[in-house]
Amino acid sequence: MSVLFYDPAGRPDRSARSFNISESIRDEPPTPMINEIVQDIEECEDPREQFELLIELGDQASPLEEKWKIENFRVQGCTSNVWLVALPDEDSPSGLRFLADSDAHLVRGLVTLVLHLVKDKSAAEIASYDFESKFDTLGLARHLSSARSNGLKSMADRVRQLASGDSAGAA
């Protein structure tokens, strides 16, 4: 199956390179370590330790292949580069498989956390998921800079858009 890229307005971008999805999807399930780190983040009250855990979480995530690190998949509103790709996946409750990465260690952990929070949810559940409440529960809003908080919101918004069928940025 080929991938069709979309411009930021949601129109098909015929000038973008296409890829074969089957060559790009990894069949690696999330490691049990990711589940443990997310649980530790949820239980952690020390912001410094929480950031260390987020960095560790990002280190456990599979890196995104370079061919996906293009402007079509870059999340707008993030200070660091963040790429978020949604691929069709019949085996997923949402019908999508999300891939993400960042060039900043902490942000890679944040985007991995965002995806972990919705990993077994339907597209409708993801589209209406209250990331902000979860971030407040984790204390992230209190401890992140305003730029990082805005970027985290942009990542969550992008995941909701893709789950709701907004094809801009979908592969």
Domain extent listing, the chain? 21-163
pLDDT in tens, 36-78: 887 888 888 888 999 999 999 899 888 999 999 999 999 999 8
Band the pLDDT of 142: cuts 50, 70, 90: confident
Which regions of the chain does DSSP assign to beta strands (E)? 82-88, 96-102
Active site residue 44: no
> Looking at per-residue confidence, does 33 or 21 come out higher?
33
pLDDT over 80 (residue 15) = no
Of these residues, 61, 64, 78, 82, which one is catalytic? Answer: 78
Helical axes 105-117 vs 131-138, angle rounded to 10°: 120
For the beta carbon of residue 126, count every other beta carbon within 10 angstroms: 23
Identity of the amino acid at 26: R
Band the pLDDT of 140: cuts 50, 70, 90: confident
Nearest to 107 by CA among 64, 166, 72: 64
Q: What is the reported pLDDT for 93?
A: 84
CATH of 21-163 given 3.10.180.10, 3.40.50.10190, 3.90.1170.50, 3.90.1010.10:
3.90.1010.10
